[in-house]
Copies of this chain bind each other. A is one copy, B any other.
Amino acid sequence: MREPESVPYRVLSLLRDNGPLSRAQLSDRLEIPRPRLLAELDRMVAAGKVLEAGPAASRGGRRSTLVQLDPGLRFAAVDLGASSLDIEITDGGLEPVAAYSEAADIRSGPVAVLGRVSEILHKLAAQGHYTRLDAIGIGLPGPVSFRDGVPVSPPIMVGWNRYPVRDTLAREHGCPVVVDNDVNVMALGERHSGVARTVDHLLFVKIGSGIGSGMQHHGRIYRGAEGCAGDIGHIQVESDGPLCTCGNTGCLEAYFGGAALARDATAAARSGESAALAVRLAERGVLTAEDVAECATGGDTASIALIRNGGHRVGQVLATLVSFMNPSMIVIGGGLAGLGFVLLSEIRSVVYKRSLPLATGNLPIVMSELGPRAGVVGAALLASELCYGDRPA
């Protein structure tokens, strides 16, 4: 059961999401009696979290003092993917003050990868983007024990099992750290600042190298018993389907996702099915999902068919999940969201046809609005929740 929210959390998150407000506005909006609010504000000023910034515009009568987040607040938001590393430094209102991305291989292990994260953070500090961090939020591409701040049996993160990610970063940077699964983090970002604002029951689906999902109910992430809820990449689509890297057959990821799409595109190029893909394969030696997207845009029917087939498989799984959880919105994100309308329309057609009519009567299925930034936005949000005193469930 969730604890009632504290006054400081309510004040700080309101300032984060609305910008500066007068004391009078805070008191009104949060329905907190004036004397109580003033006492709490004094404590928040002393803690370096808010600043009282002179008189607000008059509402008639005595002018109320304007309150804002301390402009020196800094969060680090880290989004680790299978093959990428994205970092943003934000202010207390989650506005980015610096951003950095590079390729990274999660399989090089926690010491190397987290060492690189810290190196980048120190460099951003040296460049003047922060003097100290108030909190760090980090998303990892695998199941996470949210309570312990460690990855748990993550399939693609070799050497990371139960590695103390939270404690390592906290020690190195002297601030609180929150660790979560990357898809949960993207879902959080999308609900806070993207297309899913105020959605009650959100199903976020990430289609990248692999496929995962994140659920949010009234803004709270649903993690399940072991923290692995939403891990839909190895749901069986066909019992006699192709072999998956996990050892089972017919998993969703064996049909679709960046890896499966590159494999199928290469086969289509070699078999002569797609001249456009064959040209690219000859030029570059390898094919990626981006090649398929570009060839599809150029009208290559084999590429369009690959995307359509993949969307069909994703749609089959989502149709089941929609009947089960009855979400209010589905958002598609991740690297392959770039496959665009062909993918989206195929997913829609299967879900709308196969799920319970009552569950699809009012169910938007849309592309992520934040795109590749969803992860860092969500990680910054988590960092702010930790710093502002919420206890995420």
Binding site for B on A (CB under 8 A): 1-2, 4, 143, 152-153, 200-201, 213, 217-219, 222-232, 234-236, 239, 248, 316-317, 319-321, 323-328, 354, 356-359, 361-363
Given A2-B2, A320-B236, A321-B324, also A359-B228 (CB < 8 A): yes
Question: Do B229 and A354 touch across chains, with their CB atoms under 8 A apart?
Answer: no
Please report whether the interface of chain A is mostly helix, strand, loop or mixed according to DSSP. Answer: loop
Q: List 27 A-B contacts (CB under 8 A).
A: A1-B2, A200-B225, A201-B224, A223-B326, A224-B327, A225-B359, A226-B326, A226-B358, A226-B359, A226-B361, A226-B362, A227-B326, A228-B356, A228-B358, A229-B324, A229-B325, A231-B358, A231-B359, A235-B320, A236-B316, A236-B319, A236-B320, A248-B354, A320-B321, A321-B324, A324-B324, A324-B325
Beyond A229-B326, A320-B321, 10 additional contacts (C-beta under 8 Å) are A201-B225, A223-B326, A226-B326, A228-B359, A235-B320, A235-B323, A236-B319, A236-B354, A321-B324, A325-B325
Given contacts A236-B316, A324-B235, contact A225 B356 (CB under 8 A): no
Once the chains bind, are B323 and A356 in contact (CB under 8 Å)?
no
What's the least CB distance linking A231 to chain B, in Å? 5
Q: Which residues of B contact A224 (CB under 8 A)?
A: 201, 325-327, 359
Q: Within the complex, which residue of B2, B143, B230, B326 is in contact with A228, where a contact is CB–CB below 8 Å?
A: B326
Min CB distance A176 to B, Å, is: 23
**Copies of this chain, count:** 2
Does A217 lie within 8 Å of B222, measured CB to CB?
Answer: yes
A235 contacts across to B, CB distance below 8 A: 319-320, 323-324
Contacts of A316 in B (CB 8 A): 236, 239
Residues of B within 8 A of A324 (CB): 213, 229-232, 235, 321, 324-325
Tell me which residues across on chain B come within 8 A of A319, comparing CB atoms: 235-236
- Please determine whether B234 and A323 come into contact, CB atoms closer than 8 angstroms: yes
What separation, in Å, do the CA atoms of A233 and B152 have in the docked complex? 33
Chain B min CB distance to A218 (Å): 6
**Contact: B153 with A357, CB < 8 Å?**
yes
* Cα distance, A226 to B200, chains bound together (Å): 11
Q: How far is the CA of A200 from the CA of B361 in the complex (A)?
A: 31
With a CB–CB cut-off of 8 A, which chain B residues contact A228? 326, 356, 358-359
In the assembly, what is the distance between CA of A324 and CA of B236, in Å?
Answer: 12
A323 interface neighbour in B2, B232, B354, Cβ under 8 Å: B232
**Residues in chain B near residue A362, CB distance under 8 A:** 225-226
In the complex, the answer to whether A358 meets B229 with C-beta atoms within 8 Å is: no
The interface centre, meaning the residue of A4, A143, A328, A359 with most chain B CB atoms within 10 A of its CB, is A359
In the complex, the answer to whether B200 meets A356 with C-beta atoms within 8 Å is no
Please indicate the chain B residues that have their CB under 8 angstroms from the CB of A153 in the complex: 357-358
